[in-house]
A and B are shown apart, each in its own frame.
Chain A
C-alpha cells in the first residue's frame, strides 16, 4: 500500500521542517504548509477515503498517531521559540550590583540594651524608668551616700543651674528608690537609661553613658538567687561559655556587695584572666528602711552595669566616643 508507506517519510519531513523554523512567524507558516487546509499532511488524510474499507481503520490509526506527533512537535517548538523571544536582547549580568533599598539600623547601644532587656524579661522582669534630672535624695542620700561620703569621690556629679539645684543622675540606682517608694514589694524590675558623670571624654569615658539596673525584692531572696540570675543573664548575653566570678566589694547601698568578673575565650585572647563587668549586692536594710519596706520581712538584690562596656566587649569597639559620633559607617556595622 503506497499510502501507508508514505506516512512515515512525510511525518519525518514535517518534523524536520518544524524543527528548522527559525522564529514564531516561520513556525506558523510551516504549520500551514503541513496541517493547514491545503497542507501536505492534510492532503494525506484526504487520501484516506480512497482506501478500501477494510484498510481504513488501520491506516486512519496510523495517520492519527503521526498527526499527534507532529502537533506535539509544533507545540514544543512554539514554546521554545516563545521563550527565546521573551529573553532580552542583551542578557542580564547577574554579577552587577542590585538596586539596594536603604535599611536603617538600630544603634548598637539600643541593640545591646534590647538583648539585655529580653534576657531579663524571660525571667519575669519588667522594665521601669525614672527621670535623668534627679535630686540628691534619690541619687545619693536614700542610697546611704550622703554628701561627705568617700564613695562620692568616684561619682563626680553635674549639677543643674536651677533653684532646687538638681543633678544629673550618676547611676540608674536612683530609680530603685523611686520604684520602691511608689509600689509595694515584691519588685522585679530592670532600668536601662542614660547616666552622667563629670569625666572628660576619652577612649573609655564620655560624660553621658548608659547603665542598666536590676532590682529584685521578695521574701527569702538570697545571694544564691543573685548569683543564679546574674549567671543566667550573662550566659544569655555573652554565650554559654562565659564564666562568672563574684568578688567581694563595697557599695553603700548593698551589703554584702560584690563585683562581677567574667571570662570567656575573648577575654583570654585579650591576655586577661578576668574582666570586671558589673557591681551587685544584697539591698542594704538601711535602704529598705528609707523607702518604708520592712527589712525583717523583705530581702532583695540589685545589680548594675554599663551598657557601653558590654557593647565594646561584644563588638570589640575600642573607643567609647564612637557611640556618640553616629558615623554611618559605624552604625551600619551592627
Chain B
C-alpha cells in the first residue's frame, strides 16, 4: 500500500517529520518498506521581491540587488534589465538546481559565489531558465526576468504560486493480512489519530440531498442478489449526464504518486475513493447494461455457469466456473465480482450515464477466484482480505460527489442497497486484569478504555473489572479478548513493556539427548579430519535413482533439478565433490548428517543418515616424504567407518563384501550389526559415474542409518584395570589362498578360543616374492596375557599351538613362525 505524506495530512493533523512518520508507522505494525521523496517541481525556488537595484561597480551590464525572499534579505547579482525595485520575481536559492533542460546530464546547481568581486546568494530567474512558456501561465513574454503578478505572496514556493504540486513523500507500507482496514488512507490516518489524539477528518459527503430534477434511482436500476452468502451487500448509484475526460491535475497527480495510472475522471475517482476508503468500487457505463423485459436495466449477482466465457477489462477471455461470482445483467456477465470489470460495460469516451457499484464480497470466494484465474487486482486484494461492509454506501456517495465535481452530471436520487440495515455490531469484553497477565505490565483501566476508543471502538458497558466494546465494521481482525489486549499493548508501546529475566519451568523433551548424540557424531567425524557439508534436500530424480529405487517425488517442483526428495545423502555429496573438483579443490573429504526420504509401501518415510565422501589426496600437502602424494583408498574409508562406529559405541559391527557392483558402487561392502541388522554401506563409486560428475580421482562413499546407530549404540563406559602382569607376543605369518579373508582368520581365532589371548593385530599383508600366485601372506601378532599372573612360555605355547593347528586345518594355511 502506497500513501503520501500530504495525502495523509488531509485526514489527520500531525507534525511529525517524514522520518518520524516512518518510525511511528513501523512501530505501529505498518512496516515501511520504501520511502521515496518527491522533489516536486521548482524545488528551492520562491517568490521574491526586489527591494533595491544598484549598478555593479565592476560591470556595466550587471546590477546588485537586495531582495526579500520571505524570510529575510539577501544580495543577488543580476544581469537582466527588465525589472525594477518592487517587482516580484522567481528566486532560486543556493543549493537548489534549475529544472533540467533536454540533453543536460548534470543538474545546474546554484551556489553562493562572487560575480566580478561581488557575492551573490542565489539567482533571479527568467522564463527560459525555468523552462516555462510565460504566456501559457498568463504572464508577459519578455527578455530578462519572469515578472510575477503583483499580488504574489513573497516567500511562497514558486510551484505553489503556479498552482503546481510541491514536494511530497511516498511511503510503501507492508500491510499485514489481518488488517485490511489499513489498505486505505483513512485507515492509516485513523491509526495516526489514535496515537496523536487528534481527530480523524473524514471528507464531508453531501450528496444525500439531490434536487427535485433528479431521477429516482428505483426507476433506473434494479439489483437482484442470487447468492447473498457470497455478496452480503450490494449498493448502486447512478449519475446521469457526465462528461468523461481527463482528470484534473490534483486527481491525476494523487494517483500517479502512488503508482496508479490515470485513465479518465470517472475511473480515477473510483480508484481514488478505493485508496481513500479501502472500498473497491466499479463504474459501469449505464447504457451498456441490458434491460429486463419490463424495460429496466437490472443487475444480477449470480454464480457463473460452468464454462461461461467472460472478457475482463484487460481484454483477456476468461473461462469461469460456478464457484465464481459474476455481476451480470439479464443477458451477460458484466463484471467478475470483486476482481475485475468487464470489457463490455467499461467507461468510455461516449459514456454519459454511470452506475457506481459499491459492494461487499465474501473474502474466501474472491481469493479462490483470483487464484484460480491467476488474476489479481487492487480490488481483489482488498476483498480477499476482508473489506468493510459498513462503508459501502459512504464510499458510493463519496465517489458520486467526486464524479459530480470532476465530470459533472446529475445524481439520481437515492441508492439501491440490498442490505439497508446494518447487522448488530460485534461485542467483545475485556477484563482489565488480563492485559496485565499477558503483557506483563499494569495499564490503568482508563488508559485501556481510552486506547480502544481512540481506535474507533465504542464502549458499551463497563464494570469495575471489565469493559465491553462494540467493534466497528472495519476492524474485521478483532474477534476475541486477546485481540483487544494486543491493541492495548500496541498503543501503549511494546518498547515500554519491561523485560523480565528468564524464569519458570525447566524444559524437557525426549529429543534433547538425541541432539547431543548427533553432535557427537559430528565431533567424531570432524576430529577424523572430515569437513561437514549441508546438501540440498531437493535433488533431481536422475541423481536420486543412483541411490534408491523408492523415490518420493514433489507434486509441484520448481524445476527438474529439484523434483524429488533425496533418498540418500550420497547424490548431494557427489554434487559437492563435483563443485569442489571443478574449482580445483581436488582433495575433498566431506561428511553430512541429514534426513532422507523414501516411498515405502506408498507412504513417505523419513530417516536420519550420516554419509562420508572422499576423493583426491589422503594427506595435506607436504614438501617431503614418499607417501605424500598418496590418494585416498578403500581402507581410508574403512578406517573412518571403523573409527566412527567404535567411537560412537557400536559393538559387533560386521563388514560383508557385496558379491557384485551396485548401481552406485564398484566394489562395496554392507555394514551390519552381527551380520543381520543393516547399518549401512561403503565402497568405491563406479568409475563411469565418477566421470559423469567430472571427478578424476577415485571416489569413496559410505552411508549409515543414523537412527539405527542412535538406537543400537551402547555408550556406557566402565573402567577396566590396567594390566599388572607382562604379556607374551607370538608372531605368525599365514600363507593362505586369496579367498581366505581377514574375517575368516578372526572367525577361526574366535572358534578356537585360545587361553589368555588378549589381542590379535594384523601387521602385514604381502603378495609377491616367495608367495605363490593366488596366495597372500597375512602376518599377525598374537598377544597373550593373564590378569592374575605372569604367563610362562609353556602356558602360552600350549594355547598358541592349538591356534596354529586350527589355521592349518581350517584355512589351508601354511604357517611361518
Contact = CB atoms under 8 A, between A and B. Distances in A.
Interface of A: 96-97, 99-107, 109-110, 114, 117, 123-129, 131-133, 148-151, 153, 158-166, 168, 179, 183, 186-189, 194, 196, 198, 200, 206-208, 216, 218, 220-225, 227-229, 231-232, 245-250, 252, 255-259, 282, 284-286, 299, 323-329, 331-332
Given A99-B622, A285-B480, A324-B536, A160 B440 contact: no
Contacts, number: 263
Interface in B477-506: 480, 482-483, 485-486, 489-490, 494-495, 497-506
B249 interface: no
Contacts of A284: 482
B579 A325 contact: yes
A40 to B, nearest CB: 51
B504 A188 contact: yes
B805 interface: no
Sort A-B residue pairs by CB-CB distance and give the 5 closest, nearest first: A222-B440, A224-B440, A188-B507, A102-B529, A248-B29
A216 B509 CA distance: 13
Given A148-B367, A162-B599, A285 B482 contact: yes
B177 A149 contact: yes
Contacts of A160: 552-555, 565, 604
A232 B502 contact: yes
A172 to B, nearest CB: 13
Given A102-B529, A228-B501, A132 B595 contact: yes
Given A105-B532, A187-B507, A248-B29, A328 B497 contact: no
B519 interface: yes
Given A208-B536, A227-B497, A259-B31, A126 B437 contact: no
A288 B599 CA distance: 33
30 contacts: A96-B623, A103-B526, A104-B526, A104-B527, A104-B589, A106-B526, A110-B532, A126-B507, A126-B511, A127-B512, A133-B606, A151-B177, A188-B504, A188-B507, A207-B558, A218-B504, A222-B437, A222-B441, A222-B500, A223-B489, A224-B497, A232-B501, A248-B29, A249-B31, A255-B486, A256-B490, A258-B494, A325-B579, A326-B576, A328-B531
Interface in B524-553: 525-538, 552-553
B385 A208 contact: no
Given A104-B532, A128-B509, A326-B576, A249 B552 contact: no
B478 to A, nearest CB: 11
Nearest to A198: B558
A246 B531 contact: no
Contact of B558 (A189, A200, A250): A200
A246 B498 CA distance: 12
A250 B604 contact: no
Contact of A114 (B385, B440, B519, B535): B519
Most buried by A among B176, B437, B485, B622: B176
B504 A186 contact: yes
B192 to A, nearest CB: 14
Interface string B583-606: 101001111001101010011101
B66 interface: no
Nearest to B587: A328
Nearest to B512: A126
Given A110-B522, A126-B512, A194 B585 contact: no
Interface string B177-211: 11100000000000000000000000000000000
B439 A222 contact: yes
Contact of A248 (B437, B494, B505, B594): B494
Given A224-B497, A224-B500, A248-B494, A107 B534 contact: yes
Given A102-B529, A104-B526, A124 B505 contact: yes
Contacts of A187: 507
Contacts of A158: 538, 554-557
B28 interface: yes
Contact of B531 (A166, A198, A259, A332): A332
Contact of B505 (A218, A258, A332): A218
B499 A228 contact: yes
B619 interface: yes
B585 A327 contact: yes
B706 to A, nearest CB: 13
Contacts of B536: 206-208, 324
B605 to A, nearest CB: 9
Contact of B438 (A128, A223, A249): A223
Nearest to B178: A250
B654 interface: no
B508 interface: yes
Most buried by A among B31, B439, B441, B554: B554
B534 A326 contact: yes
Contact of B28 (A105, A222, A248): A248
Given A128-B511, A198-B556, A150 B494 contact: no
B116 interface: no
A127 B507 CA distance: 8
Contact of A299 (B438, B558, B606): B438
B603 A256 contact: no
Contact of B585 (A166, A249, A286, A329): A329
Contacts of A245: 495
A207 B562 contact: yes
A324 B532 CA distance: 11
B55 interface: no
A323 B504 CA distance: 36
Contacts of A99: 620, 622
B462 interface: no
Contacts of A325: 576, 579
Given A168-B537, A248-B28, A258-B494, 14 more contacts: A96-B623, A100-B620, A103-B526, A123-B502, A124-B506, A124-B507, A126-B506, A148-B364, A168-B554, A218-B505, A222-B439, A246-B494, A247-B31, A249-B29
Given A159-B554, A187-B507, A255-B483, A107 B603 contact: no
A152 to B, nearest CB: 9
Contacts of B498: 224, 227
A223 B576 contact: no
Contact of A194 (B441, B480, B497, B595): B595
B29 A150 contact: no
A242 B82 CA distance: 63
B602 A104 contact: no
A163 B603 CA distance: 7
A166 B526 contact: no
B553 A161 contact: yes
A168 B538 CA distance: 11
A181 B710 CA distance: 25
B797 interface: no
A159 B440 CA distance: 41
B589 to A, nearest CB: 7
Contacts of B490: 248, 256
B514 interface: yes
Contacts of A257: 486
Contacts of B530: 102, 104
A144 to B, nearest CB: 10
Contact of B579 (A129, A258, A326): A326
Most buried by A among B26, B503, B525, B585: B503
Contact of A107 (B482, B515, B532, B585): B532
B287 interface: no
A207 B595 contact: no
A104 B528 contact: yes
Given A326-B535, A327-B579, A228 B502 contact: yes
B580 interface: yes
Contacts of A166: 604
Contacts of B141: none
Contacts of A222: 437-441, 497, 500
Nearest to A332: B531
A153 B519 CA distance: 36
B176 A249 contact: yes
